[in-house]
Structure 1
Amino acid sequence: MSCLAASAQAYWKGFNLPATLPSGACKSVNDWKKDFAVVKGLPGKFNAVRLYAASDCNTLANAVPAAKASGVKVLVGVWTEDDGHFNAEKQALLAAVKKYGHDWIVSVSVGSEDLYRKDTSAEVLANKINDVRGMLWSVGAGKVQVGHVDTWTAWVDPKNKAAIKACDFVGTDGYPYFQDAARKDSYNVFWQSIEATRSVVNSVKPGTWVWITETGWPVRGPTRGKAIPSVAGAAAYWKSVACSAFSQAHTFWYILQDYHESPSFGVVDQNFKPLYDLKC
């Protein structure tokens, strides 16, 4: 379990955030402060965010001081593609921990959907997870949980057991939209994916927590099978899936704000106003 609180009912609850502005420019400390103020101002008492990188766009150098000022905690992402990039990511995390300590960290995800993309093997990924864990131990941050985020389809693949064994936590991404499911069926489709992941993870490494690190329903974009993007559909998915997830797992919704993407999963518009009711 995370170090959030003694209560079994206390979970990390937040959003995935990009490191760039709509213009493509990297976010400054003040930009991050604005993001975190928006997160904390939304109904629901959100307390965390998930970031995808450590060094790219000076993510941690700019986001950590903003997070500490706001009281928002960070699920840190460390990209693993190519050794040069991986080393830069590790050094950015190391620098942030040396400068700010580690009480701002929710956990660290080494990689994101690497197994789904078949960018690496589970064994190589496991070594990188252990590498980052060892680095954190070396600077007194050994209590920080280190794991990996991937699609639920990757986690249930028997070839990826080595990655599960290396994880302190497993972050899983599941989108009924990308499974071409009708909105009315999305609740069951989503929770079936979570239960399938939990079952495999528990069989490989009993007691390992499965976190929900990405899910959402698009407000606009192409129709996929029976899955039709709409604001009404996204609102209904939030009421059914988000409101159930927040009460039983550490959950990071995808995504706070989309810019020009299609499909777009953003829950706030370009002025940071909610697109639909976020109350549970």
Structure 2
Amino acid sequence: MRVSSILPFMLAAAPAVTARGTLGFSLGDKLPSGDCKTTDDYEKDFEALKDLTTLVRTYSGSECDTPKEILPAAKSKGFKVVLGIWVGAQDKSDTSTSDPSFVKDFAALKKYIPGYESQVEAITVGSETLYRGDLTGPQLHKYISTVGKAFPSTTVGTADSWNKFADGTADDLFTTNTDDNPMVTYVLANAFAYWQGTAADKAYQTYFDDMTGAMKHIQKIAGSNADKIRVITGETGWPTDGGSDYEAAKAGTDNAKTFWKHGICGMLAWNVDLFYFEAFDESWKPDSIGDNGKAQDEKHWGLFTDKRVKKFDTSCPK
């Protein structure tokens, strides 16, 4: 969805929207055992997802040989993939694009994309690098531009937390527009009402407010170029039974269904594209330590179980 198109609907009452956003899914690269997925495993994933979408996003170019394994499966099953390139922390004075993770992932994409260009929806460079403080805006811009030059016929952008697009941290991506660093036009904004401690029955409003904040600021900074920028929800979701609570946000399958019916269905109805986090439970994942210092279970965020069984009804209200 273009930035300038959604804001009038998000910021004020609007007539019925006839277009509908595109639903995609974040997709992990490991099996429940922790072993890497093969092409056959991805084909099974796509079979489970095909009634909901033909679009997924991944996060690394080299871990588990993701592009090597997923692109043939995508071609076989008629899917498109957003491929990810990871960028690690870098000294703020370093203007090179020599991060080891980037170099490795970039090389993998250059090796495995040829012949599968039609299966690549886009490439994202960095995943919440600004949120973590690993890079500055100008540094990230240079990495994105480097990839764009290598793949001139492919859309190249980035994924970060919604608030980094709303608070000015990412402004360089939209204000610097030169041959060496063209304006970034593909933006995945991650927005989790759950991690803001919002109760499930109110989470859709927090989610809408977050996306509106990111879109509004990008539109302001980009000015007359705003209609060239696609702003998509890069990640949003809710943990189901077995997951961890976070303040007023309570894990549970019923709560995940509530967020889906109001937040996911609502955003799609406003003609905003989004990626749900995530397609399948990742039971191999260890607990992580959240911002509150407590261990958080990240195994139960899937719409489907790790056996590819859907957990709840995903139909949207008419």
> TM (normalized to structure 2)?
0.79
Partner of 1:183: 200
| Identity percentage of aligned residues | 27
Aligned pair partner of 2:272 in 249, 260, 263: 249
Deviation readout 1:83-118 (Å, 9 max, x if unpaired):
222122112111223232x11111111111111111
Partner of 1:87: 103
Q: Which letter does structure 1 place at the counterpart of 2:202? A: D
For 1:150, what is the secondary structure of its paired residue? Answer: strand
Does residue 1:169 correspond to 2:169, yes or no? no
Give, in angstroms, the shift of residue 38 of structure 1.
Answer: 1.0
CA distance in 1, matches of 2:185, 2:266: 24
Partner of 1:217: 238
For 2:211, what is the secondary structure of its paired residue? Answer: helix
Partner of 1:271: 307
Moved more, 218-227 or 149-158: 218-227
- Is the CA contact (8 Å cut-off) linking 2:243 and 2:301 kept in structure 1? no
Give, in angstroms, the shift of residue 215 of structure 1.
Answer: 0.2
Partner of 2:138: 123
CA distance in 1, matches of 2:214, 2:72: 35
Partner of 1:134: 149
For 2:169, what is the secondary structure of its paired residue? Answer: helix
Moved more, 84-93 or 114-123: 84-93
Q: Which letter does structure 1 place at the counterpart of 2:79? A: V
CA RMSD of aligned residues (A): 1.7
Change (3 A) 1:178 1:273: same
Change (3 A) 1:255 1:120: same
Q: Which letter does structure 2 place at the counterpart of 1:211? A: I
- Is the CA contact (8 Å cut-off) linking 2:130 and 2:169 kept in structure 1? no
Moved more, 217-226 or 108-117: 217-226
For 1:67, what is the secondary structure of its paired residue? Answer: helix
Partner of 1:54: 61
Partner of 1:39: 49
Q: Which letter does structure 2 place at the counterpart of 1:116? A: Y
Q: Which letter does structure 1 place at the counterpart of 2:127? A: S
For 1:15, what is the secondary structure of its paired residue? Answer: strand
Give, in angstroms, the shift of residue 34 of structure 1.
Answer: 0.8
Partner of 1:26: 36
Aligned pair partner of 1:98 in 104, 107, 114: 114
- Is the CA contact (8 Å cut-off) linking 2:160 and 2:190 kept in structure 1? yes
Structural mapping, 1:218-237, within 5 Å: 218-219=239-240, 220-237=242-259
- Is the CA contact (8 Å cut-off) linking 1:123 and 1:163 kept in structure 2? yes
Change (3 A) 1:179 1:212: same
Give, in angstroms, the shift of residue 119 of structure 1.
Answer: 1.0
Structure with more contact order per residue of length (Cα contacts < 8 Å, sep ≥ 6): 2
Q: Which letter does structure 2 place at the counterpart of 1:268? A: F
Change (3 A) 1:183 1:10: closer
Partner of 1:155: 165
- Is the CA contact (8 Å cut-off) linking 1:12 and 1:47 kept in structure 2? no
Change (3 A) 1:12 1:76: farther
Q: Which letter does structure 2 place at the counterpart of 1:171? A: L
Give, in angstroms, the shift of residue 254 of structure 1.
Answer: 0.3
> TM (normalized to structure 1)?
0.90
Partner of 2:282: 259
Structure number, greater radius of gyration:
2
CA distance in 2, matches of 1:91, 1:223: 39
